[in-house]
Amino acid sequence: MDGMKYFKKIEGTRLFLSPVNPDDAEIYTQWINDLPTSLRLGNAAEVYSLPQERAFLEGIAKEGMNFAIVLKDTEELLGNCSLFSINHIHRRAELGIFIGSQSSRNKGYGTEAIQLLAEYGFKVLNLNNIMLRLFEFNHPARKCYEKAGFRLFGRRSQSYFVNGQYFDELYMELLSNEIKTNFLEEFLPKQNG
């Protein structure tokens, strides 16, 4: 393999966030076509081909706050996360996250990735409010978001219809003064420091 695949933009305890690598299109295509995964993300009615996924990754690799979630020890790709709909005037954004393989879930990786991204959003991008959305049946995601400090503030009733049933979309948020982690502290400038 020539050259590096990932770059440590934001580093945590077990993970780091790297710019997205479009060469990972194949593994993303496998993950996104997994029915249980796509049902939780709300895009099960779509079929994603390898060329579509590569084009999508190439697009997000060129713009915005989109990151690959990478395991520090092995440089294994775990998924991706992003801040989007960023509004610098009102200092708000939305957060999205996706842990690809079933074997990487329920290990705290999602929580750490969200904490890293939120801390970066608050301390470097100067955001004040970060919001995320999920479907009410996605209990593991809700637990993960709550562990990362997010709290429920609203719901959109009966807005997701699957298997003959309606489900609510839940809205959660975190404010800059509520962040509990200090992953970036040693790198950030300080007054009289």
Cβ–Cβ < 8 Å for 96, 1: no
Report pLDDT digits (tens) over 143-165. 999 999 999 999 999 999 999 99
- Dihedral angle, C-alpha 36, 113, 147, 64, nearest 10 °: -90
Would you say residue 119 has pLDDT above 80?
A: yes
Could you give the domains of the chain?
A: 10-127 (3.40.630.30)
Tokens of 17: 């966030």
Report pLDDT digits (tens) over 8-48. 999 999 999 999 999 999 999 999 898 888 888 888 888 88
The model's pTM is 0.93
Degrees to nearest 5, angle at CA 138 with 132 and 141 = 55
Distance between CA atoms of residues 127 and 149, nearest Å: 16
Distance between CA atoms of residues 109 and 99, nearest Å: 8
